[in-house]
Amino acid sequence: MSYLVTIGLEVHCQVKTNTKMFCACETSFAEEPNTRTCPVCLGLPGALPVLNRHAIEKTLLAGLHLDCGSPEISKWDRKNYFYPDMPKNYQTTQMDLPLCIGGEVPVYDFNYPTDVRKDIPRPGLKVRLNRIHLEEDVAKSTHLGTTSVIDYNRAGTPLMEIVTEPDIETSAEAFAFLRSLQMILQQGGISDADMEKGQLRCDVNISIRRQESDPLGNRIELKNLNSISAVRRAIDYEIERQWEDLQAGIEQIQSTRRWDDDRGESQLLRTKEDAHDYRYFPCPDLLPVHTEPLLEKVRPMLTERPHERAGRYEKDFEVTAYDASVLAADLPLANYFEELVATSGSSGKKAANFLLNNLLGSLNERSIAISDSPLSPGKSGALLGLVEKGTLAISQAKEVLTVLLDAPDQDPAAVAKELGFEPADAGELDALCDQVIAANPKQVAEIKAGNEKLINFLTGQVMKASATKPNPKQVTDLLKGKLE
């Protein structure tokens, strides 16, 4: 017996703006409660909203980054319900004419959870979007025993709702989708999309059915998911729960459930029958928006997206597909990489190796982010340049790197010299090679007979005899020339 899973996500994402959606209050996080409020965001009678142009522009920009279209005219609607965290008793949102329609999110393979990365069922998956609309966030309630307290600082913060088509089939895909979306929004400067700060929140809709020819099952909506890993756990739990019901012949009633991540289970909140009737109607206080003039303004702000950057690294720098995607995923790392290529005079492939395998490894050991690297790309470039010139072997460059990380003001060439990593005097090195060849006739014979690896032994002898520590590769090359 098997089944098919269908998942659609509704992602709420705070737009990065200085002020709120309909008033001039500052957007804030973790400020003194109720200090960023005014009559508009407190819903006082007679207060009138004023549109935040930046929030609209950023949402349109999000649409461009996600290949959405936009209707010519986008309008505002009131969604009516009573909630203490929405004092106007309606939320201003968008119903039938959202700012963005359609679009898609490329799901990056490297964003899958590590345990599935080796066996991704649908590599290169693209999840279609249904729409992106702009609305206002609600206040934050905290429940303390029998009372609740409310902080209106968050009320009225611009909030995008990104709705996917039901294109997702596994919890791992949902996980990778969210990370990819988060990355695109962050790099595009649209949102910080920090889930821990509540800037990115997500509701999950799930249904299952037995086979392709069956209609989609009734969907269950899961709320209260506050991390990407919780989304994965909640989906796995819900699939299991629905599958057990299906086997027992129990049909799902369209409903909303609350995920309890500590207990690892969901509880029923409400079924479709007692769903709210929001009685949407067009907001009489706000004019519809002509999208084209605003789109024209934001089009130049569309930046390179991670998959495009990775493609460029592969094509222009001949970096492997995997390295390219790793570099492109992190903007500070990508910028570091490009400067490193420019300053080292080294190939992109070598620069990527040095950056990912040597520098990043050393920084990780010290818990330092690339953006805080004590070594500037220029300094790393100078070091890598010494490898490029043949002065240093990569193993020697690593030792220089270790010293430089603790003394970043020093010059890479000077540190190399201090460590004794100096090209030996050419004549002296030549003489040393001749000596070692003469002193080891047995090994030389074996090398000539085809045991090429044994040349490393001779290299070692030359290195030992040398007063400085020349680049072993240079020594090997010199020996090879002599033995040919």
Contact set with ligand ADP (CB under 6 A): 6-10, 163-166, 205-207, 216-217, 219
Choose the one of ligand ADP, Zn ion, none that binds residue 23, judging by a C-beta under 5 to 8 angstroms depending on kind.
Zn ion
The 3-state DSSP class for residue 243 equals: helix
Rounded CA gap, 483 and 464, in Å? Answer: 20
> Measured from the CB of residue 6, what is the shortest distance to ligand ADP in angstroms?
4
> Measured from the CB of residue 275, what is the shortest distance to ligand ADP in angstroms?
8
Which of 4, 38, 120, 356 contacts Zn ion by CB under 5 A? 38
Choose the one of ligand ADP, Zn ion, none that binds residue 216, judging by a C-beta under 5 to 8 angstroms depending on kind.
ligand ADP
DSSP for residue 452: G
Choose the one of Zn ion, ligand ADP, none that binds residue 165, judging by a C-beta under 5 to 8 angstroms depending on kind.
ligand ADP
Supply angle C-alpha 475, 480, 484, rounded to 5.
155
Rounded CA gap, 261 and 259, in Å? Answer: 6
Rounded CA gap, 154 and 460, in Å? Answer: 67
The 3-state DSSP class for residue 327 equals: helix
- C-beta of residue 212 within 8 angstroms of C-beta of residue 4: yes
Size of the site for Zn ion (CB under 5 A): 5
> Measured from the CB of residue 156, what is the shortest distance to Zn ion in angstroms?
6
Choose the one of Zn ion, ligand ADP, none that binds residue 310, judging by a C-beta under 5 to 8 angstroms depending on kind.
none
Question: Does residue 155 belong to the site contacting Zn ion (CB under 5 A)?
Answer: no
Q: In terms of CB distance, is 50 or 269 closer to Zn ion?
A: 50
Q: In terms of CB distance, is 239 or 294 closer to ligand ADP?
A: 239
**In the complex, which residue's CB is closest to ligand ADP?**
8
> Measured from the CB of residue 16, what is the shortest distance to ligand ADP in angstroms?
24
Where do we find the tokens 């895909």? 173
Question: Does residue 424 belong to the site contacting Zn ion (CB under 5 A)?
Answer: no
Q: In terms of CB distance, is 40 or 139 closer to Zn ion?
A: 40
Question: Does residue 41 belong to the site contacting Zn ion (CB under 5 A)?
Answer: yes
Choose the one of Zn ion, ligand ADP, none that binds residue 207, judging by a C-beta under 5 to 8 angstroms depending on kind.
ligand ADP
Q: In terms of CB distance, is 9 or 400 closer to ligand ADP?
A: 9
Question: Does residue 50 belong to the site contacting Zn ion (CB under 5 A)?
Answer: no
Choose the one of Zn ion, ligand ADP, none that binds residue 25, judging by a C-beta under 5 to 8 angstroms depending on kind.
Zn ion
- C-beta of residue 440 within 8 angstroms of C-beta of residue 448: no
Question: Does residue 23 belong to the site contacting Zn ion (CB under 5 A)?
Answer: yes
Could you tell me which residues come within 8 angstroms of residue 388 by beta carbon, excluding any fewer than 6 positions away? 344, 345, 346, 350
Q: In terms of CB distance, is 166 or 306 closer to ligand ADP?
A: 166
Long-range contacts of 241-247 (CB under 8 A, 24+ apart): 241/266, 242/206, 242/207, 242/208, 242/217, 243/3, 243/208, 246/3, 246/208, 246/210, 247/1
> Measured from the CB of residue 218, what is the shortest distance to ligand ADP in angstroms?
7
Instruction: Choose the stretch contacting Zn ion; rule: CB under 5 A; options: 24-32, 222-230, 306-314, 386-394.
Output: 24-32
Long-range contacts of 351-357 (CB under 8 A, 24+ apart): 351/317, 351/384, 352/313, 352/317, 352/319, 352/320, 352/323, 352/324, 352/327, 353/323, 354/380, 354/384, 354/387, 354/394, 354/397, 355/327, 355/380, 356/323, 356/326, 356/327
Q: Which residues bind Zn ion (CB under 5 A)?
A: 23, 25, 38, 40-41
